[in-house]
């Protein structure tokens, strides 16, 4: 074999060694990511206690219009003068009080159940992640001590990488489940607020009912037109009635 052929073989061998090392380095980088970022166990749901309820209520308020004609509503109308004289009754509810889970039993229960389910998923993911990290650490100890063959190392790395991918997929699945449940809870509480406000308004026949609070665009409202307590009472009455009916 001449010098040129030997040089060519040496280059091929070195190229193959570099390729193998690149694959091994890439695999180890993926495996070490298990230790650095085990799971996204919080589902991106920090601040859930605030975000769940106020999303739809903060700016738009509760817009409930024209239950009956203005002529039947007595003397509690507010008169606005423009090109024409318009008579209307405007009421308000306190958004911060309405969304206080200590005052609304259904909201407290729904959010408690949601939190419990989220905690269950977090514990499962944390357990699986901890187990995977432990096996990875054991693998690294055995690898560095030289007790594993190349075939055993390749097989273990492949298995650990596959399990990490499965864990990430499970985390994504649970995140999607929790996001949908979050939307469902938000919708149920929002609907109960609107329905209770509608029923309370049957006594007042208001043209508009707006939500006020920290996130509201309403700067000032006269407390005599506030029906927050009545709406809260109606929300809790309706929930208790529903619970009683379901038990029969």
Distance CA 32, CA 28 (A): 6
Distance CA 18, CA 21 (A): 5
Residue 201 burial by CB count (10 A; 0-12/13-18/19+): exposed, middle or buried?
buried
For a pLDDT cut of 90, what percent of the chain falls above it? Answer: 46
- The model's pTM is 0.64
Q: Is the pLDDT of residue 25 over 70?
A: no
For residues 76 and 214, the model is more confident at 214
**pLDDT (0 to 100) of residue 86:** 61
124, 242 Cβ separation under 8 angstroms: no
Question: Could you tell me the two tokens for 187?
Answer: 């919708």
Neighbouring residues of 135: CB distance < 8 A, sequence distance ≥ 6: 160
Q: How many helices and strands in the chain, by DSSP H and E?
A: 6, 4
Long-range Cβ contact pairs of 64-71 (< 8 A, separation 24 or more): 64/194, 64/197, 64/198, 64/201, 64/206, 64/208, 64/209, 65/207, 65/208, 66/207, 67/198, 67/201, 67/202, 67/205, 67/206, 68/205, 70/207
Task: Give the 3-state secondary structure of residue 210.
Answer: strand
In tens, the pLDDT along 189-246 reads 889 999 999 999 999 999 999 888 776 777 788 889 999 999 999 999 999 998 887 7
**pLDDT (0 to 100) of residue 230:** 95
Task: Give the 3-state secondary structure of residue 79.
Answer: strand
């Amino acid at each position: 074999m001449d010098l040129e052929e030997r040089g060519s073989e040496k280059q091929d061998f070195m190229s193959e060694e570099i390729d193998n090392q690149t694959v091994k380095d890439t695999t180890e980088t993926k495996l070490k990511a298990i230790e650095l970022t085990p799971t996204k166990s919080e589902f991106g749901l920090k601040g859930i206690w605030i975000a769940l309820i106020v999303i739809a209520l903060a700016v738009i308020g509760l817009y409930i219009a024209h239950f009956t004609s203005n002529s039947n509503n007595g003397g509690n109308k507010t008169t606005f003068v423009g090109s024409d004289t318009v008579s209307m009754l405007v009421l308000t509810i306190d958004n911060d009080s309405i969304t206080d889970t200590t005052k609304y039993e259904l909201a407290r229960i729904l959010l408690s159940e949601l939190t419990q389910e989220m905690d269950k998923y977090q514990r499962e993911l944390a357990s699986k992640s901890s187990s995977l990290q432990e096996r990875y650490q054991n693998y690294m100890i055995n690898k560095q001590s030289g007790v594993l063959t190349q075939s055993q190392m390749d097989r273990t790395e492949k298995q650990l990488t596959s399990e990490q991918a499965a864990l990430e997929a499970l985390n994504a699945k649970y995140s999607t489940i929790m996001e949908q449940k979050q939307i469902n809870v938000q919708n149920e509480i929002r609907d109960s607020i609107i329905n209770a406000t509608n029923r309370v308004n049957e006594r007042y026949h208001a043209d508009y009912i707006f939500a006020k609070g920290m996130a509201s665009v309403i700067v000032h409202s006269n407390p005599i037109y506030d029906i927050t307590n009545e709406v809260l009472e109606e929300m809790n009455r309706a929930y208790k009635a529903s619970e009683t009916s379901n038990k029969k």
